[in-house]
């Protein structure tokens, strides 16, 4: 990846285009089955640009109650786009079409109009949970019944497609716009693409410029994203298998309960609010995991940790859980 970055053909993407960035955008658009794609420095900026283009101030977007757009983009929808997020709390780990239907308000002079439906697949906060193509289609139908566009936060769409054994374009076809990230499981240092119709991307391009997201010799980082897509996408199933191994070893340790992983994120629920102690103990034993909330710890498997390393890490996390929860 570093060699690809060093030898990347570059131009000026703010002025008249960068060849490597253009090639990446064309590849991503083709892979997702969309007319065009646009390279962004981050997934958050790409999500916010999508919200800007789809919505108008004084309206609301509907997203999962645990969505990244709602929790982790520091109220960007409100601050940048004048849009409020309406969290949809599902019956299960991630909202479904029926949950969405129940949350769309009856038109009223007293209530904000909806302007956008957002999905997240895989769902980070729920623990890398995958939504099926059929469920996504059902959500798209509900949005369509209300004349609402759909944006897909697909930071980890690669993992969802791998788990479902479906082409990425099947998942992307369930939304008008799609964000995919190169800096999660694919292992690039940064970057995301936003994909959609040619008209949508023309408008998103202006917003990217306004947000300060124009990057000049962006080929240096686009080359990393291209490398990641071409070399690291095909190995994501290994991370999913490693996550299942973590579940096998960790479930029940000291009374902890592992949320069965669909992909590469493993959420470990603790019987008491000692997540920071577990994280500190694991670090002492040489493994980095994080506290999701006081009673939940999050572990992520990735390309820098092959199966043998994960097996060793699992044993050490188990030791940490047993020590802290004893």
Ligand X SMILES: Cc1ncc(COP(=O)(O)O)c(C=O)c1O
> Binding ligand X by CB under 6 A: which of 20, 29, 43, 282?
43
Map residue 187 onto helix, strand or coil.
coil
> Binding ligand X by CB under 6 A: which of 42, 132, 173, 319?
42
- Cα separation of 135 and 143, whole Å? 12
| 101 contacts: CB under 8 Å, gap ≥ 6 | 142
| Ordered DSSP codes for 57-119 | TT-EEEEETT-HHHHSSTTHHHHHH--EEEEE--SSSS--HHHHHHHSPPP-TTSPPEEEEEE
CB of 315 vs ligand X, minimal distance in Å: 27
CB of 39 vs ligand X, minimal distance in Å: 12
Name the one range near ligand X by CB under 6 A: 43-51, 52-60, 134-142, 314-322: 43-51
Is 236 a binder of ligand X (CB under 6 A)? no
Is 177 a binder of ligand X (CB under 6 A)? no
DSSP classification of residue 48:
H
Interface of this chain with ligand X, residues 155 to 174, rule: CB under 6 A: 155
Interface of this chain with ligand X, residues 263 to 292, rule: CB under 6 A: none
Is 218 a binder of ligand X (CB under 6 A)? no
Is 153 a binder of ligand X (CB under 6 A)? yes
Map residue 18 onto helix, strand or coil.
coil
Is 124 a binder of ligand X (CB under 6 A)? yes
Residues in contact with ligand X, counted by CB under 6 A, come to a total of 12
- Cα separation of 30 and 39, whole Å? 14
Is 121 a binder of ligand X (CB under 6 A)? no
> Binding ligand X by CB under 6 A: which of 120, 176, 238, 239?
120
Q: What are the counts of helices (DSSP H) followed by strands (DSSP E) for the chain?
A: 14, 11
Name the one range near ligand X by CB under 6 A: 26-34, 37-45, 246-254, 283-291: 37-45
**What does the angle CA 194 – CA 158 – CA 127 come to, to the nearest 5 degrees?**
105
Positions touching ligand X (CB under 6 A) are: 42-44, 47, 68, 120, 124, 153, 155, 181, 183, 192
């Amino acid at each position: 990846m570093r060699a690809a970055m060093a030898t990347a053909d570059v131009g000026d993407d703010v002025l008249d285009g960068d060849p490597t960035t253009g090639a990446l955008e064309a590849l991503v658009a083709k892979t997702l089955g969309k007319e065009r794609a646009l390279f962004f420095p981050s997934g958050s900026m790409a999500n916010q640009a999508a919200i800007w283009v789809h919505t108008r101030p004084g309206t609301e977007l509907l997203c999962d109650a645990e969505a990244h757009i709602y929790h982790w983009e520091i109220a960007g929808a409100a601050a940048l786009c004048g849009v409020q997020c309406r969290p949809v709390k599902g019956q299960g780990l991630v909202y479904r079409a029926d949950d969405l239907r129940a949350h769309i308000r009856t038109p009223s002079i007293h209530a904000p109009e909806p302007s956008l439906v957002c999905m997240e697949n895989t769902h980070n906060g729920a623990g890398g949970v995958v939504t099926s193509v059929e469920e996504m289609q059902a959500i798209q139908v509900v949005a369509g019944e209300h004349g609402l566009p759909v944006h897909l936060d697909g930071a980890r769409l690669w993992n969802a497609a791998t788990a479902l054994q479906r082409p990425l374009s099947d998942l992307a076809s369930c939304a008008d716009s799609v964000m995919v990230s190169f800096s999660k499981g694919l292992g690039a240092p940064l970057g995301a693409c936003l994909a959609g119709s040619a008209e949508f991307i023309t408008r998103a391009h202006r917003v990217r410029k306004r947000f300060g997201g124009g990057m000049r010799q962006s080929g240096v980082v686009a080359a990393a994203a291209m490398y990641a897509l071409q070399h690291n996408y095909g190995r994501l199933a290994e991370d999913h298998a490693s996550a299942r191994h973590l579940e096998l070893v960790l479930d029940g340790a000291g009374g902890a309960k592992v949320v069965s992983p669909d992909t590469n994120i493993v959420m470990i629920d603790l019987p008491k609010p000692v997540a920071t102690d577990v994280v500190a103990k694991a670090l002492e034993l040489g493994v980095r995991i994080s506290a999701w909330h006081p009673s939940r710890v999050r572990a992520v498997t990735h390309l820098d940790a092959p199966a043998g390393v994960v097996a060793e890490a699992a044993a050490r996390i188990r030791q940490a859980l047993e020590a802290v929860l004893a």
